[in-house]
Structure 1
Amino acid sequence: MCCSRQSPQPGDRRCSEEGPESSVFSDMANVKPESEKQSNGAEGPDGGWGWVLVGALFVTSSLVFGLMRSLGIFFVEFVLYFDESAQAISWISSIGLAALQFFSPLAAALCNAYDARIVVMTGGFLAGLGLVLASQATCLVHLYLTMGVLSGLGWGLVFTPMVATVMASFTRHRTLALGLAFSSIGLSSFAFNPLFQLLVEMYAWRGALLILGGLSFNIVPCGALIRPQKQFKSTEKVSSKSRFSCSAVLRQVSSYLQLQLLFERPYLTYSLAIALLNIGYFVPYFHLVAQSRQAGFSEYEAAFVMSAAGATDIFGRIVSGWFSDLGHFRLIHLLSLWTTLAGVFIILLPVSSLYGSYAALMLISLLYGFCSGALTSVSFAVVPMIVGVDRMMEALALLQLIESGAGLLGTPLSGLLKDITGNYIVSFMVAGSFPILSTLTMATLPHYFSCADPPPPKRGSHEDKDEGLQSELEQFNSLPADTSQGDS
Structure 2
Amino acid sequence: MGGMPVDSGAGGVKAPDGGWGWAVLAGCFVITGFSYAFPKAVSVFFKELIREFGVGYSDTAWVSSILLAMLYGTGPLCSVLVNCFGCRPVMMVGGLFASLGMILASFSTSIIHIYLSAGVVTGLGLAPVALCCLSPLGQVLQYHYGWRGGFLILGGILLNCCVCGALMKPLVAPKTPKEEHSEEGSEVERKEKPKAKLLDFSVFKDRGFVIYTVAASIMVLGLFVPPVFVVSYAKELGNEDTKSALLLTLLGFIDIFARPTCGVIAGLKWVRPRCVYLFSFALIFNGITDLIGSQAKDYASLMVFCVFFGISYGMVGALQFEVLMAIVGTEKFSSAIGLVLLIEAIAVLVGPPGAGQLLDATKNYMYIFLLAGIEVVLSAVVLASCNFLFIRKKTPTPPDKLENVTVGDGATTEACSELVEVGNMEEKGASEEQEKEAIKKEEHEEEFMPESVTMDSQEVENLMKTPQQNGDVASSPETRL
Which of 341, 351, 366 aligns to 1:425? It is 366
Match of 2:341 in 1: 400
Q: Is the 8 A contact 1:92 1:143 kept in 2?
A: yes
Q: Does 1:379 align with 2:323?
A: no
Match of 1:316 in 2: 258
| Structure 1 position 199, deviation (Å) | 0.6
Match of 1:350 in 2: 294
Q: Is the 8 A contact 2:206 2:410 kept in 1?
A: no
| Residues 432 and 295 of structure 1, relative CA distance in 2, 3 Å threshold | same
Match of 2:451 in 1: none
Which of 114, 118, 121 aligns to 1:143? It is 114
Match of 1:412 in 2: 353
Per-residue Cα deviation, 1:12-70 (whole angstroms, up to 9, x for no partner)? x98xxxxxxxxxxxxxxxxxxx9xxx9xxxx5598776654433221111111212221
| Matches for 1:433-452 after TM superposition, within 5 Å | 433-446=374-387
Which of 19, 39, 48 aligns to 1:77? It is 48
Distance (Å, rounded) in 2 between the aligned partners of 1:47 and 1:145: 41
| Residues 453 and 427 of structure 1, relative CA distance in 2, 3 Å threshold | farther
Match of 1:332 in 2: 276
**Corresponding residue SS for 2:269:** coil
**Larger relative CO (CA 8 A, sep 6+): 1 or 2?**
1
| Structure 1 position 256, deviation (Å) | 1.0
Which of 293, 296, 308 aligns to 1:367? It is 308
Q: Is the 8 A contact 1:269 1:444 kept in 2?
A: no
Distance (Å, rounded) in 2 between the aligned partners of 1:229 and 1:272: 37
| Structure 1 position 227, deviation (Å) | 3.5
Q: Is the 8 A contact 1:102 1:401 kept in 2?
A: yes
Q: Does 1:130 align with 2:101?
A: yes
| Structure 1 position 449, deviation (Å) | 10
Q: Is the 8 A contact 2:63 2:114 kept in 1?
A: yes
Q: How many residues align?
A: 374
| Residues 294 and 350 of structure 1, relative CA distance in 2, 3 Å threshold | farther
| Residues 230 and 447 of structure 1, relative CA distance in 2, 3 Å threshold | farther
Distance (Å, rounded) in 1 between the aligned partners of 2:214 and 2:385: 11
Distance (Å, rounded) in 1 between the aligned partners of 2:27 and 2:217: 27
**Corresponding residue SS for 1:296:** coil
Distance (Å, rounded) in 2 between the aligned partners of 1:271 and 1:75: 31
Distance (Å, rounded) in 1 between the aligned partners of 2:413 and 2:101: 41
Unaligned runs of 5+ residues in structure 2 are: 1-5, 174-194, 397-408, 415-481
Q: How high is the sequence identity, in percent, across the aligned residues?
A: 32
| Residues 230 and 390 of structure 1, relative CA distance in 2, 3 Å threshold | farther
User: One-letter code of the match for 1:390?
Assistant: E
Rg larger for: 2
Q: If the length of structure 1 is used for normalisation, what is the TM-score?
A: 0.70
| Residues 10 and 147 of structure 1, relative CA distance in 2, 3 Å threshold | closer
Which of 304, 308, 311 aligns to 2:246? It is 304
| Residues 89 and 213 of structure 1, relative CA distance in 2, 3 Å threshold | same
Distance (Å, rounded) in 2 between the aligned partners of 1:230 and 1:454: 44
Q: Does 1:111 align with 2:90?
A: no
| Structure 1 position 448, deviation (Å) | 7.7
Q: Is the 8 A contact 2:140 2:242 kept in 1?
A: no
Q: Is the 8 A contact 1:275 1:403 kept in 2?
A: yes
Q: Is the 8 A contact 1:131 1:209 kept in 2?
A: yes
Q: Is the 8 A contact 2:66 2:120 kept in 1?
A: yes
| Residues 300 and 453 of structure 1, relative CA distance in 2, 3 Å threshold | farther
Distance (Å, rounded) in 2 between the aligned partners of 1:147 and 1:10: 29
